[in-house]
Structure 1
Amino acid sequence: WSFQAVTKATQKLPANVEDILEEAFLREAYVIRNYVIPAELRVNTDQTQTVYQQGNKATWNKRGEKQVGSIGKDEKRAFTLVPLISASGELLPFQAIFQGSTDASCPSKSSPFYQEAKELGFCIEPSKTKTYWSTMETMKSLVNDIISPYFERKKRELNIENPGEQRSIWKIDCWSVHKSKEFLSWMKTTHPNIIVIFVPGNCT
């Protein structure tokens, strides 16, 4: 720990945060027990902004200098990284979303470790919007190309007796796209055996 400058207001937790978390825990435990869902079939994801060049609001400089430069202070370029992990501790391939309309907005195929990332199943795609945030379409590709194939593979490895009936859990936060009627309806229609569970809002 060290003394640091304050950069943002602390997010306020709900007054009844302990009750909310207890209810969420019991709800998830109920689903796991009733549908007999093993740890391998429970996945959590989160979107995170990844800035290309992290800047800093402070740096070492000669005492008394009025103008102090810092590398990356004006850097605002970023992409969205979506890490995924199962309750059994297995790391799934990541999804990376870059601002732009075509694959030219994504890292070049000649970039270091690009081929290794693709061989590991990483999904690297353009947002096809003016931002780099996840969209309805990138969420669909996340499920279709990474999450669903992972669940199906695990069902085979676990020798699930009725894989077509086996439920899985996907735990995500209360982001607007996640909770939209369009996305949840698509999930129920396209992936009815994946149960979506939300992390309570303002509790992360």
Structure 2
Amino acid sequence: MDQLDMYILPHQQLTYYEKGARQVDAAGKEEKRAYTLCVASTAAGDILPFQQVWSGKTKASLPKTIAPSMAEAKELGFHFTFANSAKRTSHFSTKKTMKEWMIEVLELYISSVIKAQNLPRDQKAVLL
């Protein structure tokens, strides 16, 4: 599993203006809205559904359920959660979000593999 910081409006540290210009605007330079994207793959090469971790302490911090492509993301098993961190603006994973990932993403994947391969219901799995 890996975690990536994703900015809503990515920005570069580069601008293109005439050499010697006295004022150079950098659009989006102050944009701070971001989330952590948790991605994981299996030893078999399967990509697990992503988890997005947003800052905030309630579901109001999450993208709206009517957001473009939200229905498709939910259908694919993506998990959207909030950090509920002591630092109000932190979007980094917390113990809470990692537990949610284990239940909402990993356990569902393991269950689907057990069912698809007709394995015993108490089949063990290893998380590396």
TM-score by length of 1: 0.57
| C-alpha distance in 2 between matches for 1:89 and 1:66 | 52
| Structure 1 residue matching 2:80: 3-state secondary structure | strand
Coordinate RMSD, CA, aligned: 1.5
Between the two proteins, the alignment pairs up a number of residues equal to 125
Shift of 1:92: 1.4
Residue in 1 that maps onto 2:94? 135
Shift of 1:72: 1.9
In structure 1, runs of 5+ residues without a counterpart are 1-44, 172-204
| C-alpha distance in 2 between matches for 1:149 and 1:110 | 24
In structure 2, runs of 5+ residues without a counterpart are none
Letter in 2 for 1:97: V
| C-alpha distance in 1 between matches for 2:71 and 2:47 | 18
Which has more helix, going by share of residues? 1
Is 1:54–2:21 an aligned residue pair?
Answer: no
Percent identity reads: 33
| C-alpha distance in 2 between matches for 1:83 and 1:73 | 27
Shift of 1:163: 4.3
Query: Could you tell me whether the CA contact under 8 Å between 1:55 and 1:74 is conserved in 2?
Result: no
Letter in 1 for 2:39: P
Shift of 1:167: 3.1
Which is higher, the Rg of structure 1 or of structure 2? Answer: 1
Residue in 1 that maps onto 2:111? 152
| C-alpha distance in 2 between matches for 1:57 and 1:68 | 12
Residue in 1 that maps onto 2:125? 168
Shift of 1:86: 1.6
| C-alpha distance in 2 between matches for 1:169 and 1:72 | 43
Deviations 1:94-114 (A, max 9, x none): 111111111111111111001
| C-alpha distance in 2 between matches for 1:52 and 1:82 | 16
| Structure 2 residue matching 1:85: 3-state secondary structure | coil
| C-alpha distance in 1 between matches for 2:13 and 2:81 | 32
